[in-house]
Structure 1
Amino acid sequence: MNPPGLDLDRLRAHLDAHRPGLVAGQLSADVVEGGRSNLTYVVGDGRSRWVVRRPPLGHVLPTAHDMTREFRVISGLRDTAVPVPEAILLCEDADVIGARFYVMSFVEGTPYRTADELAELGEGRTRAIADALVDTLVDLHAVDPAAVGLGDFGRPDGFLERQLRRWKKQLDASRSRDLDGIDELHDRLAAAVPVSGKPSIIHGDYRLDNVLVDGGDEISAVLDWEMSTLGDPLTDLALLVAYAERDKVSLQFVSNASSAPGYPTTDEVVRRYAERSGRDVSQLNWYVGFAFFKLAVILEGIHYRYTQGKTVGAGFEGVGAGVPLLISHGNEILKEEK
């Protein structure tokens, strides 16, 4: 049976034509739950398994959900210290299954999402996994983009200013109520944009539940590269820090793994990253403030769609209540900036 958005017969024919011998039997597929954007399927023939990624169903902007971008970055990182699935095939012909898609290898591993899952492992293993998460981020930021064919993967010059403008534009497009402190937070950020250090490949949404962990508590694969680009690597670190404040700012849709016993504190995470990367993190508060601003804008957009009756499913009614907490936390962090 075909899952939504994936015609297995057409997929099989395309694979047979472009990767003859790859598939040995009839294909079956399961949708991977939990993604909020691109659709992910585990496809198998009874002998081997692969992963197929495609954009969401329905109309999407032509520049959004860029399959070529995801395929290109995992292809470039394949022979680096950053663990990624093998890039097997990219199809840019939307007529094959109704959208562009790519196929990558299936990687064994666990995406830890909850503190309870980590608590079952014990404090020592939890600490080892968190340390591996930080070390893999350092490895990513150490990759020379030009050396792996990604020198033109983004525009690092003026990256932070463009990001701030982008998210302010998103905020203005979804304003439906007064949000005390949001303009103050934006203005504080705009008045003190740091000078970025050496640019790097950045993931864009780096967190524990976007990686797979193997049985030895090492990272077996980094997944979900749809936000990746060239830019300021401290934006990745800051988002990791912001997600760790989940319970303080009501980020209920984010993994609470960082609250598990044994998980390092924010100061320990930042210190490990700084020591291993050699990067200056003295202005990290700005980046964390920006991370909270970005998350506030994202949640406000979801809240706006909910009030317009344009969300599907349950659980959206409480999203709007979390936005003021994000704004407040962002302003408080910027007040601490030296």
Structure 2
Amino acid sequence: MSKENPPGLDPERLAAHLDRERPGLVRGPLRAEVIQGGRSNLTYRVTDGAGRWVVRRPPLGHVLATAHDMSREYRVISALRGTDVPVPGTVLLCEDEDVLGAPFYVMEQVEGTPYRTAGELAAIGPERTRALALALPDTLVALHSVDPESVGLGDFGRPEGFLERQLRRWGKQLDASRSRELDGIDELHASLGGQLPDSPEPSVVHGDFRLDNVLAGADDRIAAVLDWEMSTLGDPLTDLGLLVMYSEPLNVPDAPVSSTAEAPGHPSPQELIERYAEGSGRDVSRINWYTAFAWFKLAVILEGIHYRYTLGQTVGPGFDRIGGLVPVFIDNGLTTLRKG
């Protein structure tokens, strides 16, 4: 680990706070480094040479606290500890911004590997890839089987009208990023609204469930599910639809968005759907709607990235090619929705 303090985390201030709140936990000077690959919130690996922890805080200069609610993440992870859902143990939540400049929480570090590309999966071979990918719907079954009331999450969200609110939310996101004509995007949004399915009984939903948001243990079982910032109570099939979408090959050479579906041994989307249906007992006959909604949501997210790139607000490799990928997601969404 670097001896320099990473942006957004002062190890000495963190150690002093932990000494006050959890005496005896830290036994020496802390060192910290940023864990790469996180999405919105910043994630750090911290150690005193013996113990190892992970710290999560909002991005530097964040404005919308509701989009980076540390207490929600901490609450859901703490609540799921002791269920069949693999989550890290939580250590401490701090909402005092004077400590690190923003609210943060500390959790135990879980040993495991995040797989983010087909190449990384190819290195472990088709049999292990298949076993790991099939563990994803099994984990969703475990999550969606948790009774929210029994773990203290009965008021964690508003399930009534969940899908309508989701469509409105992402429609507003699209309007905020409009800078060019996108053939089919409004048709996809309107068609989704005109074909809303009846949601099953609500459950805790992760909101961004995919392979690179879990850690795989040495036994190719899922050691921990991470990145709970979008979790709430809602329609469980939105989680499955997103997983299915990420399991569809993009078939775009050198796509600037990672995909693991092309890895040898990766199960087909239909296998993942059937695995979930068998384990959960839920009716998945409308899964094409949920998958089409996932394509729409990701198209909106990518268009937002493209819009910020055109304004010079996003720099780095691959951002210049994001805009060209948006029509692919729109077309896939329309094609999927037309399947019924």
On whether the aligned pair clears a TM of 0.5, the verdict is: yes
Q: Which residue of 1 aligns with 2:220?
A: 217
1:57 to 34, 56, 60: 60
Partner-residue secondary structure (3-state), 2:325: helix
Deviation at 1:133, TM superposition (A): 1.6
Counterpart contact for 1:209–1:255, Cα < 8 Å: no
TM-score (norm 1): 0.97
Pick from 174, 189, 193 the counterpart of residue 196 of structure 2. Answer: 193
**Contact 2:256/2:318, CA 8 A, preserved across alignment:** no
User: Given that residues 207 and 231 in structure 2 are in contact (C-alpha distance below 8 angstroms), is that contact kept between their aligned partners in structure 1?
Assistant: yes
Three-state SS of the structure 1 residue aligned to 2:40 is coil
Equivalent residues in 2 for 1:50-199, closer than 5 Å: 50-199=53-202
Give unmatched runs, 5+ long, in structure 1: none
Contact 2:215/2:225 (<8 A) preserved: yes
Pair 65,312 (structure 1): closer, same or farther in 2 beyond 3 Å: same
> Aligned match of 1:307 in 310, 330, 333?
310
Q: SS state of the match for residue 111, structure 2?
A: coil
TM-score, normalised with respect to structure 2: 0.96
Distance 1:52 1:59 in 2: 17
Deviation at 1:329, TM superposition (A): 1.1
Q: Alpha-carbon deviation of 1:151?
A: 0.6
Please report how far the alpha carbon of residue 238 of structure 1 lies from its aligned counterpart in structure 2 after TM superposition: 0.6
CA distance in 1, matches of 2:149, 2:116: 34
Contact 2:256 2:321 in 1 (8 A): no
Is it true that 1:17 corresponds to 2:23 in the alignment? no
Paired residue for 1:334, among 329, 333, 337?
Answer: 337
Q: Distance in 1 between matches of 2:225 and 2:254?
A: 22
Match of 1:266 in 2: 269
Deviations along 1:96-130, one digit per CA (max 9) or x if unpaired, are: 11000000000001111222222222222111111
Secondary structure of the residue aligned to 2:32 is strand
Give the drift of 1:251: 9.5
Secondary structure of 2:66 counterpart? coil
- Give 2:5's aligned residue: 2
Cα distance in 1, alignment partners of residues 255 and 145 from structure 2 = 32
Paired position in structure 1 for 2:49: 46
Question: Judging changes above 3 Å, is the alpha-carbon distance between structure 1 residues 101 and 321 closer, same or farther for their aligned structure 2 residues?
Answer: same
Q: What CA distance in whole angstroms lies between the structure 2 residues aligned with 1:241 and 1:252?
A: 18
SS in 2 for 1:51: strand
Mark the runs of 5 or more structure 2 residues left unpaired by the alignment. Answer: none
How far off its partner does 1:253 sit? 4.8
Deviation of 1:246 after TM superposition, in Å, equals 4.5
Number of residue pairs matched by the alignment: 337
Q: Percent identity?
A: 68
Secondary structure of the 1:258 match is: coil
Moved over 6 A (4+): none
| Cα distance in 2 between the residues matched to 1:25 and 1:155 | 44
Distance 1:316 1:74 in 2: 32
Q: Which residue of structure 2 aligns with residue 288 of structure 1?
A: 291
CA distance in 2, matches of 1:305, 1:110: 31
Q: Does the CA contact (< 8 Å) of 1:28 and 1:45 recur in 2? A: yes
Name the Cα RMSD after superposition: 1.3
Amino acid of the structure 2 residue aligned with 1:88 = V
Give CA-to-partner distance per residue, 1:55-90, whole Å, 9 cap, x none.
000132121200000000000000100010001000
Whole-angstrom distance in 1 between the partners of 2:211 and 2:8: 27
Q: Report the CA distance between 1:252 and its aligned residue.
A: 3.6
Partners of 1:255 and 1:223 in 2: how far apart? 18
Query: How many Å apart are 1:274 and its aligned residue?
Result: 0.4
Segment drifting more, 1-10 vs 122-131: 122-131
Contact kept in structure 1, 2:256 and 2:319, CA below 8 Å: no
Greater alpha carbon shift after TM alignment, 5-14 vs 123-132 = 123-132
